[in-house]
Structures are given as C-alpha cells and as structure tokens.
C-alpha cells in the first residue's frame, strides 16, 4: 500500500511493479484495490452493501 501511495503522489497513478493493474474508478465497474495478505483488484467490492443501502433508501 505504501508503494501505491508513493506512486500516486509522484505520478497521479498508484500502479507500480509488484501490484496488479489498478484501473481508474468508474460507476460501471467500481474497481477498487483490496490490500490484504493478497493484493487484488476487485470490481464493485461493496456491491451487496451498496445495493442493500440503495434499496432501503427507496422504501
């Protein structure tokens, strides 16, 4: 994560060697990077929670 922050500060892009490609966030894919024991790019990581929240707001 530290190297991603450094790359982002230097270039505006958090990608660096040793990390999976992190695509820019957009409303269609909602790609986020999960920094855990295995670093992984995931689409719509909070999807189930977000959809539940949106459904409850619509009531």
Tens of pLDDT, residues 31-58:
989 999 989 999 998 888 988 998 888 7
pLDDT at 50: 87
pLDDT at 30: 92
pLDDT band at 59 (very low <50, low <70, confident <90, very high): low
Neighbours of 43 (CB within 10 A): 11
pTM over 0.85: no
Average pLDDT over residues 3-27: 92
Burial 45-54 (b: 16+ CB within 10 A, else e): eeeeeeeeee
């Amino acid at each position: 994560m530290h190297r991603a922050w450094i790359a982002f500060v230097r270039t505006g892009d958090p990608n660096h060697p040793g990390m999976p490609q992190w695509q820019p966030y957009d409303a269609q894919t909602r790609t986020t990077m999960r920094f855990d024991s295995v670093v992984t790019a995931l689409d719509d990581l909070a999807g189930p929670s977000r959809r539940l929240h949106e459904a409850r707001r619509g009531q």
